[in-house]
Chains A and B, each alone.
Chain A
C-alpha cells in the first residue's frame, strides 16, 4: 500500500516549484509546448525514425534492402494510426513505385515503412510525368507535409460544418 503521508507533500512543494509556470497560457495558443511530459511534445525531442542500424559501437549498417531508390524507415512508438495514413498519402505520390508498412511484432512499439521510388525520369511534355525521380526520404517528407495539409483542410471543413449546423439549429 502506498505511504499515508500523501497530498501534504504535494501541497508543500507546489508554491516554490511553480513560479515558472505562473504565466497562464493564452486561450488559443497551444500551451502544449510548456508541457514537457506530454508524450506528443516529448516526441519532438526524441529521435524516432531511423534508416540506419547501429551495430556494436560505431559500425553503421543500412536497414536491409536499401539503396538510392529504396529504403525502409523504422518508427518507434507509432502504430497503424500513423502507419496506414502515411502509407496512403505516400502512395499518392507519383514518384513512388511502392509503399507499404508493417508492424513486425505487436509487443514492440515499432512500425516500419518501406518506400521505393521510380528510377527513370519521365519524358517531358508527354503527360507521363509519374516517372519522375525522387529519393525515399524526400517521398517520406512530402508524405508528412501532405498529411499536415490534409489535417488543416479537415479542420477547416469541420468547423464550417459546425457553424452551418449551429445556424440551422438556431433558425
Chain B
C-alpha cells in the first residue's frame, strides 16, 4: 500500500542523500562507496527520477539501490495509498461537526 520502510530481505532502509557530488563520484568509482540503506526514503526520489525521463534501472542505480532484493522492493511496489487517499471522510466530518 505504502512503500515499506526497509527491504524485506536485507533490512536496508535507503541511501545517504543523493548529492550531485556524490552522484558524480558514484559514476566514477561505481556503486562500491554508496549503497542503499533503507527503501523507505527512496520511493519519492525514484519517482522524481522517473519523471525526469530516466529509465527505471538507471534510476535505481543512481539511488544506490544495488542489490536485487532492494531493487524488487521499488520495482514491484504499487502505491495504492494514493487511491485510498482520495476517499477522505475526515474533512467532511469536521464540516458536519462545525455546522452542528
- The short answer to whether A and B are in direct contact, CB under 8 Å, is no
B contacts, CB < 8 Å to A: none
